[in-house]
Amino acid sequence: MFSAILPAMVNSENANVESVGFIALGCPKNLVDSEKMLAEIGEAGFVICEDISAADVVVINTCGFIAPAKQEAIEAIAEAVECKTSGSVKKVIVTGCLAQRMGQELIDEVDGIDAVVGLGERDNIAAIIKQTLHPSGGVGSVMYMGGDNGGISDDRGRLLITPGHWAYMRISEGCDRKCAFCTIPSIRGKFRSKPEDIILSEARELVGNGAVELSIIAQDSNYYGRDLGEKDGLSRLIGKLEKIDALKWIRLMYLYPAGIDDRLIETISASEKVLNYIDMPIQHINDDILKAMRRSDRKDKTVALIEKLRAAMDDVVLRTTVIAGLPGETDESFAELIEFVKWARFDALGCFSFYPEPGTAAAGMDGQVPEQVRKERADILMGIQQEIAFEKARRHVGKKLTCLIDEGSDKDGVGIGRFYGQAPHVDSICLVKDCTAQPGDFVETEVLAANDYDLIVQEISG
Ligand code: SF4
C-alpha cells in the first residue's frame, strides 16, 4: 500500500496564499488520482505544504479496499482533525475510494470532516477546497459525490509524487470481474479503457519530463480494450508505447492470469522495452476456493501458464498475491496453496489474510475462517515465501545486472537502484556500493552479495 505526504512546495513569501496539506494513501491507481489533484490544487494558486498542521486545508485521498486501509485512512483523518485544534488547519476534506464507498456514513462515523468528495469530483478538487474554505451558505459537512463514477479520467498534467524518472501510467478505470472478496467494482465502477490517444499523449508527456520507466497499471491490465470489443488491446498498446524513443522500461502490473494469452506472452518476450516481469495476482490455487472467489482461473491452467512463461522467457520474474482464509478454505485447501507456492517459487509474493468486507459476496458466505486462523495462515505463507525469496536473492550473486538508479549515493556512498525484476515500492531493491550515478541513470552492475530480500551491487564499467 502506498502512502505519502508530498514534499514541501512552500511559498513562504506570500503569507496571504492559502495552503493545502495533502496525504496520499492507497494503491498506485489512487496515487495517480492524488497526483492529478495536486496539479489542480497547485494550478489554482494554493501552496502545497509538507507540514499538514501548518496548512489551511488538509486533503486526505483515501483507500477503502480492505479493513486495514480503512483504518489507516480514519487514523489519517483523525490526525488532520486534531490539527484543527492544535494547528492552523481550518478544514479537512476526504477524497478517494473510502469517500466514494462510505459517503455520509464516513461523516457520521468520523468527527470533524468538512467535506467528502467522491471519485467523479476529482477534477473539481480546487473549486471544492475554495468552497469549503469560504462557504457561501451555512457551515457543516458537505458531500460532493458528483454523478456516477462511470467516466474515464484524463490523467495528463499530473504533479508526480513518484520520482520523475519513473511514473505510473493508468490505462483504464474500474473492473468488470466479480471476485467475491473485492469491493473495487462497487467503488470504481465497470471497466473503461482510457482512449489510446490520451494514453500515448500522457506517456509522451511523462517521458518528456524525464521518465524512463513507466509502470502500466489498471485493476485488470490485460483486459484493456475488451470493453470496446478488442481482444489484444494491451499488446497493440504496448506496440505504440515502445515507439517512444526515450522510454526504456515498460513494466506490466496487475495481469489477471486467465487473461495472459499467447499473443501477450509473445509481445512481452519479443519486446526490448517490456520487462520480463509479470505481476499476476493468482489469489489462490485450490479450484474450489477459486470457484468460491468467482475467479475464472483454475489450478491446471495456472500451472501451465507458469510453465509457459518460464519456457518463453528463461529470465522471467514472477510476482503474485494470494489471499489466505477465504470462507471454505480448509486445512487441505490451504495445504494445497502451500505446496503450490513451494512449487511455483515466485520471485515475490504478497499474502493478505481475508477480510469479510461489507457488501462483498464473500462476507456473507458460509464457512468463515476465524480471524486468528486467517492471520496465522498468512504468516505461514509469508514465512515460506521469505525462504524462497532469500534463496533466490543469493542466486543472483556474481550476476551482472543493469540497474536503474532511484537514489544517488548517501553519506556512505550507497545509492539505491533496481534491476528489471524489482518493481518500485513493492519489491526488493539493489544497494549500489560506491554509487556515482544519478537518479534516472542506468548503470551496469555486478551483484556482490544478498542482504535478505535485497541485493548489494557494485557499478562496473562497460
Ligand atoms: S480483478 Fe477481481 S480482485 Fe481485481 S479489481 Fe477486479 S474484482 Fe477486484
Domain with CATH 3.80.30.20 in the chain: 166-394
Report the residue among 97, 179, 226, 322 best suited for mutation to probe ligand 1: largest number of ligand atoms under 8 A from its CB. Answer: 179
Q: Is the CB of 184 under 6 A from ligand 1?
A: yes
Q: Is the CB of 352 under 6 A from ligand 1?
A: no
pLDDT category at 3 given cuts 50, 70, 90 is very low
> What is the third-level CATH fold of 2-144?
Rossmann fold (3.40.50)
CA torsion sign, 244 to 275 to 224 to 102?
negative
Least confident of 129-138, 204-213, 270-279, 344-353: 129-138
Domain with CATH 2.40.50.140 in the chain: 400-459
For residue 458, the surrounding DSSP H or E stretch is: strand 454-459
Instruction: For residues 315-328, give the mean pLDDT.
Output: 98
CA separation for the pair 204, 206 (Å, rounded): 5
**Which of 395, 236, 432 is CA-nearest to residue 317?**
395
125 and 40 Cβ atoms separated by less than 8 Å: yes
Question: Does position 1 have pLDDT exceeding 50, yes or no?
Answer: no
Domain with CATH 3.40.50.12160 in the chain: 2-144
Residue 174: left (phi > 0), alpha (psi -120 to 50), or beta? left
Phi, psi angles (nearest 5°) of residue 157: 75, 35
Residue 149, pLDDT score: 59
* CATH no. of 166-394: 3.80.30.20
Report the residue among 176, 192, 219 best suited for mutation to probe ligand 1: largest number of ligand atoms under 8 A from its CB. Answer: 219
> Which atom of ligand 1 is nearest to 219's Cα?
5
Question: Does position 4 have pLDDT exceeding 80, yes or no?
Answer: no
Cα dist from 304 to 246, 284, 288, 350, whole Å? 36, 15, 18, 21
Q: Is the CB of 181 under 6 A from ligand 1?
A: no
CA separation for the pair 407, 417 (Å, rounded): 7
What pTM was estimated for this model as a whole?
0.94
> What is the third-level CATH fold of 400-459?
OB fold (Dihydrolipoamide Acetyltransferase, E2P) (2.40.50)
Q: At what angle do helices 262-270 and 299-312 cross, to 10 degrees?
A: 30
CA nearest ligand 1 atom 4, residue: 219
For residue 21, the surrounding DSSP H or E stretch is: strand 19-26
The amino acid present at 460, given as its one-letter code, is I
Coil, helix or strand at residue 457 = strand
CA separation for the pair 157, 148 (Å, rounded): 24
Question: Does position 77 have pLDDT exceeding 50, yes or no?
Answer: yes
pLDDT category at 461 given cuts 50, 70, 90 is confident
CA nearest ligand 1 atom 5, residue: 219
C-alpha 353 to ligand 1 mean position (Å): 16
432 and 443 Cβ atoms separated by less than 8 Å: yes
b/e map of 388-402 (b: 16 or more CB within 10 Å)? bbeebbeebeeeebe
CA separation for the pair 241, 204 (Å, rounded): 9
Coil, helix or strand at residue 336 = helix
381 and 334 Cβ atoms separated by less than 8 Å: no
Question: Does position 191 have pLDDT exceeding 90, yes or no?
Answer: yes
Residue 196, pLDDT score: 96
